[in-house]
């Protein structure tokens, strides 16, 4: 096997494909680069066919911290569980690959994409799909390829589309669209957008389809070079589950019974009827036949259910719950559902029910990200939980699964463009969506419930967001687009197309497509139908909570921001953080200081005002003429030091502590006494001179006769340079100023 490397340029970016040097024992292995960002993608197909009734595909994205020259945190100093971004990247690779394999493929397939270099300029995620596609091609794996994934951005100023934008280009884009498939059809779409119109989104998808075709052509060019160097690639033959006519005919004889069982609007009741029918059909096979056809029987039972549901829709226009194609299930909305929490909303559509709960905190409570991407953290976090009880099942509770992370990310992208800026609303925001019931479209229900929670909690979002899941049935040459699909229509249909947005446009989109006949005309119909459905759902939400609450809940922290001069940050923090800890301990507020001097103060009750007042006192510089009530903190022979503000003392000279001469400061003041003073002067070094207001009379006997106390006072007075004595007239040489010359007495 000889190394083959090919570098090419597309849409202003440079890419490299390489194979034949790394991981040669894998079925296929490809090194793929965009700029210096590098990933190695391998695919391995097991030699044995598994006795499964599903396609056993596993995709892993391995995020290596050495790719950005960092040592992982923690005690073990090695990579642990995948980050959310790594999980989302694995899903991005998986979703277009899975439908490309032939029906009945039962050999295990494992795709591993490993990050080797992340140049902090070019993202690594989308190029991994191209690497996986080429690795499968070079390994002779049978699939409908080549495949590619591209990201499409749009420049905010020029409106031009950008293919695989850099991180900097993404920051200036109002669209972040990832789509994958072949040159002929799109199988996966994921998008976040800043209220993009349906027409603009469709144009971006069409442009992306062309870009996918260009990357597929680049793979074919590489294959041509590979075969020239290493010989022709032979597609390997793997045994497929073949249709069994006898099993098929015996099971499909119950078609009418299955159609009748499916006509039940209640999910659990319908599932019960369908499962009972399947068991009855299965019982018609002898034990020997069940053992012989242990895989064929469940596969054909599933096909029976799928065929009956799809035919019902395209022939009669009726869905299993009796709805029309564009009809939305009944909606129930409640705000302020939970006491004490910072905000909550309950959204139910049909038998899908989601409770979203809002938590607000200081900006430093946002999520820190330890990934290979240049993003260090995020202020808004949306998390989605799908416990087993929401579908009436028993299961284990643990860390979130890939599906939960993906659905949480979709709702996060849907709401992110509508959040207020940090300057307007200086909070970290966390929303958790708990799926209480599920019968399809739970991610869209979580988007709606989270909008309710944000509005209920007083978060000043720009506009409310709603979402809907669209479906597609293509059967017998007919096409039906379905609004608000339920679980069965998702599992047995051809498309799951989720769209979120405001009254102005789309904020997020996700699509998984199994139909090769999906055209842009069909997508246009789906987007327009989704727009009508979103508006209907949003209207139901606004009937309950027409606008965001004017204030946050009393239970939520109140956060204010103030600015301090950069050269005063050290004073607010104090040595080893002593001052800022003291403020927090004494007031109960939280204080977060930024490098630019912005200070965020958060807390409940009067703690915020108290902490802000303490900080303002620290940074305040006394000015001449200002009056203070201070405390004597130190007494010296020449005067008393009085604390005016935290960290700021002034000198009250002994000559100004009382009316009349004072021999000792202690005759008038003691440490700890409160005294009213006025600022006389603040010199260039910041030293403060004070005068006492309402001076008392000097104690009797203190300083009489101008003895030692008077001499001490005089000696403590600052000496002036000769040049400073300009107010005293100078005598001419020999001039005695009119005084009588002193006589010298002789011996």
CA gap 238, 290 in Å, rounded? 25
Site of tokens 């789309």: 506
Does the annotation flag 200 for ligand binding?
no
CA gap 665, 525 in Å, rounded? 91
Pairing of strands 688-692, 648-653: parallel
Q: What are phi and psi of 600, to 5 degrees?
A: -105, 125
> Quick one: CA dihedral 669, 670, 673, 678, positive or negative?
positive
CA gap 720, 518 in Å, rounded? 94
- Contact of 412 with 367, CB cutoff 8 Å: no
> Quick one: CA dihedral 285, 288, 289, 292, positive or negative?
positive
Strand boundaries in 506-658, DSSP class E:
506-513, 558-563, 590-593, 598-603, 627-636, 639-645, 648-653
Site of tokens 């301990």: 585
- Contact of 496 with 490, CB cutoff 8 Å: yes
Q: Among candidates 512, 574, 629, which has minimal Cα distance to 179?
A: 512
Pairing of strands 495-501, 506-513: antiparallel
Q: What is the largest CA-CA distance in the chain?
A: 153
Name residue 354's beta-bridge partners. Answer: 347, 435
Tell me how long the chain is: 747
Pairing of strands 627-636, 674-682: antiparallel
CA gap 41, 90 in Å, rounded? 11
Q: Give one DSSP letter per residue of 109-156, joined into a string.
A: EEEEEEEEE--SSS-SHHHHHHHHHHHHHHTT---S---EEEEEEEET
Does the annotation flag 94 for ligand binding?
no
SS (H, E, C) 300-319: HHHHHHHHHHHHHHHHHCCC
- Contact of 121 with 38, CB cutoff 8 Å: no
CA gap 440, 436 in Å, rounded? 12
Annotated binding-site ranges? 490, 496
- Binding-site positions for Mg(2+) read 490, 496
């Amino acid at each position: 096997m000889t190394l083959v490397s090919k570098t090419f340029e597309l849409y202003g970016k440079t890419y490299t494909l390489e194979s034949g040097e790394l991981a040669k024992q894998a079925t296929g292995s490809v090194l793929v680069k965009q700029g210096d960002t590098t990933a190695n993608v391998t695919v391995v197909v097991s030699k044995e066919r598994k006795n499964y009734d599903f396609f056993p595909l596993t995709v892993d994205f391995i995020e290596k911290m050495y790719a950005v020259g960092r040592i992982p945190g923690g005690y073990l100093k090695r990579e642990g569980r995948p980050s959310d971004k790594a999980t989302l990247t694995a899903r991005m690779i998986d979703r277009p690959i899975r439908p490309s394999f032939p029906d009945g493929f039962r050999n295990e397939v494992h795709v591993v994409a490993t990050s080797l270099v992340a140049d902090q300029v070019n993202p690594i995620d989308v190029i991994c799909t191209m690497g996986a596609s080429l690795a499968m091609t070079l390994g002779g794996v049978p699939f409908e390829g080549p495949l590619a994934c591209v990201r499409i951005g749009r420049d905010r100023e020029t409106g031009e589309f950008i293919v695989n934008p850099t991180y900097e280009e993404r920051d200036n884009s109002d669209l972040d669209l990832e789509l994958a498939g072949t040159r002929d059809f799109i199988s996966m779409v994921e998008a976040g957008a800043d209220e993009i119109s349906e027409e603009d989104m469709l144009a971006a998808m069409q442009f992306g389809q062309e870009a996918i075709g260009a990357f597929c052509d680049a793979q074919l060019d590489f294959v041509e070079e590979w075969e020239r160097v290493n010989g022709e690639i032979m597609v390997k033959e793997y045994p497929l589950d073949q249709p069994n006519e006898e099993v098929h005919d015996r099971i499909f004889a119950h078609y009418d019974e299955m159609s009748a069982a499916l006509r039940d609007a209640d999910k659990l009741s319908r599932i019960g009827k369908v499962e009972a029918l399947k068991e009855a059909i299965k019982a018609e096979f002898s034990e020997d036949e069940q053992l012989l056809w242990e895989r064929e029987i469940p596969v054909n039972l599933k096909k029976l259910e799928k065929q009956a549901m799809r035919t019902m829709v395209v022939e009669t226009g009726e869905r299993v719950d009796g709805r029309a194609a564009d009809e939305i299930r009944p909606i129930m909305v409640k705000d302020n559902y939970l006491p004490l929490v910072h905000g909550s909303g309950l959204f139910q559509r049909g038998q899908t029910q989601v409770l979203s709960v809002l938590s607000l905190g200081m900006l430093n409570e946002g999520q820190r990200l330890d990934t290979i991407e240049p993003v260090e953290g995020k202020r808004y976090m949306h998390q989605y939980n799908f416990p087993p009880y929401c579908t009436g099942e028993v299961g284990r509770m643990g860390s979130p699964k890939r599906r939960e992370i993906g659905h949480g990310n979709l709702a996060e992208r849907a709401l992110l463009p509508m959040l207020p800026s940090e300057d307007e609303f200086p909070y970290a925001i966390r929303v958790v969506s708990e799926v209480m019931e599920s019968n399809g479209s739970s991610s869209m229900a979580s988007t709606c419930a989270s909008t309710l929670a944000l509005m209920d909690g007083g978060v000043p979002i720009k506009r409310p967001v709603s979402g809907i899941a669209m479906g597609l049935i293509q059967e017998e040459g007919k096409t039906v687009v379905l609004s608000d699909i339920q679980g069965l229509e998702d599992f047995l249909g051809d498309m799951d197309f989720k769209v979120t947005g405001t009254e102005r446009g789309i904020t997020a989109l996700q699509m998984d497509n199994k139909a090769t006949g999906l055209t842009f005309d069909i997508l246009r119909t789906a987007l327009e139908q989704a727009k009508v459905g979103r508006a209907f759902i949003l209207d139901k939400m606004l009937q309950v909570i027409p606008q965001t609450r004017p204030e946050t809940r009393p239970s939520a922290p109140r956060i204010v921001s103030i600015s301090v001069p950069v050269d005063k940050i050290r004073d607010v923090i104090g040595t080893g953080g002593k001052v800022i800890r003291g403020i927090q301990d004494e007031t109960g507020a939280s204080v977060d200081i930024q490098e630019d001097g912005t200070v965020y103060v958060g807390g409940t009750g009067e703690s915020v005002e108290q902490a802000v007042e303490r900080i303002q006192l620290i940074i305040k510089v006394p000015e001449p003429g200002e009056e203070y009530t201070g405390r004597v903190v130190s007494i010296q022979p020449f005067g008393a030091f009085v604390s005016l503000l935290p960290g700021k003392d002034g000198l009250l000279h002994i000559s100004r502590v009382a009316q009349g001469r004072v021999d000792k400061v202690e005759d008038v003041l003691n440490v700890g006494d409160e005294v009213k003073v006025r600022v006389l002067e603040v010199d260039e070094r910041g030293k403060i001179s004070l005068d006492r207001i309402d001076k008392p009379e000097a104690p009797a006997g203190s300083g009489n006769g101008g003895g030692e106390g008077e001499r001490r006072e005089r000696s403590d007075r600052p000496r002036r340079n000769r040049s400073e004595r300009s107010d005293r007239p100078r005598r001419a040489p020999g001039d005695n100023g009119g005084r009588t010359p002193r006589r010298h007495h002789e011996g």
